[in-house]
Amino acid sequence: MRKKIVAGNWKMNNNLEAGIKLAQEVLEKATGNEEAQIVLGTPFIHLNKLAESIVGKKGIEVAAQNCSDKASGAYTGETSAEMVKSTGVNYVILGHSERREYFNETNQELAAKLDLALTNNLVPIFCCGEPLEIREKEEHYAYVKQQLTESLFHLSANDFAKTVIAYEPIWAIGTGKTATSAQAQEMHAELRNHLADHFGQELADTCPILYGGSCKPSNAQEIFAGADVDGGLIGGASLNADDFLAIVNSF
Ligand code: 13P
């Protein structure tokens, strides 16, 4: 059976104190028997503290929200995959649409980030998804498949087996507008077929594909019911421990 994952993406929210408090609240309120792996995607400033106080407790994991496409060197302000790993966390979110849009991340750069993440034993949560105009032109399947082809298809079977994918239609992020459960399931099934064409059915069948975009306690159960929807990447609702855990418990 595929692993189920519900990951929070705090984005650029919570200073050090507020982030620790939120993570502690999630830890206290989690039962440890959740059906889904809980991952907290936090700003870099929280990683080391949370690695010490949260990672592994009740099975909770912590993710960075980015890493550099360079291994080390004179890249002021950047944080390498090796540095992320050295904090004690095990996951990294890569290629979020906000990073693609505001920081011009390309599929090719993301391929390099994936390599560095995997070399440093970080589990990448690779984000993909189409903007509204692409969906309106009905080119969304081709668009998202190309993101996977250009960033993931160079991976070895071994590395691909460690990779998590998050489909986040950009028009559903922070807008209150979710994809319908049918739209999410259709895209996830398309992506899994695309992965199967390249990596083989067996590996494609083990790859968790998460949905992201205005996921809330009120709609998570319906969205997660899709056969190819293996969990969620949660923005706004992950900033509240009760809402986040309600989503985690929506399977
Ligand atoms: P919202 O849940 O706030 O729509 O954000 C989704 C997202 O971007 C998660 O990475």
Which contiguous run of DSSP H or E holds residue 220?
helix 217-224
Determine the distance separating the centroid of ligand 1 and the alpha carbon of 233, expressed in angstroms: 7
| 1 has pLDDT over 80 | no
The pLDDT score that the predictor gives to residue 226 is 97
Catalytic position from the list 109, 168, 188, 194: 168
Which atom of ligand 1 is nearest the CA belonging to 174? Answer: 4
Determine the distance separating the centroid of ligand 1 and the alpha carbon of 218, expressed in angstroms: 15
- Domain extent listing, the chain: 5-248
Give CA–CA dist 100/103, Å, rounded: 6
Which contiguous run of DSSP H or E holds residue 126?
strand 123-128
The pLDDT score that the predictor gives to residue 179 is 87
Give CA–CA dist 191/196, Å, rounded: 9
pLDDT in tens, 213-234: 999 999 999 999 999 999 999 9
Averaged pLDDT for residues 16-22? 98
Work out the end-to-end distance of the chain between its first and last CA atoms, rounded to an integer number of angstroms.
14
Evaluate: CB of 173 within 6 angstroms of ligand 1. yes
Q: In the predicted model, what is the mean pLDDT of the chain?
A: 97
Active site residue 168: yes
Averaged pLDDT for residues 157-163? 98
Catalytic position from the list 96, 140, 188, 194: 96
Q: With beta carbons less than 8 A apart as the criterion, state whether 179 and 169 touch.
A: yes
pLDDT in tens, 45-103: 999 999 999 999 999 999 999 999 999 999 999 999 999 999 999 999 999 999 999 99
Q: Could you say which architecture CATH assigns to the domain 5-248?
A: Alpha-Beta Barrel (3.20)
The pLDDT score that the predictor gives to residue 174 is 84
Evaluate: CB of 115 within 6 angstroms of ligand 1. no
Evaluate: CB of 38 within 6 angstroms of ligand 1. no
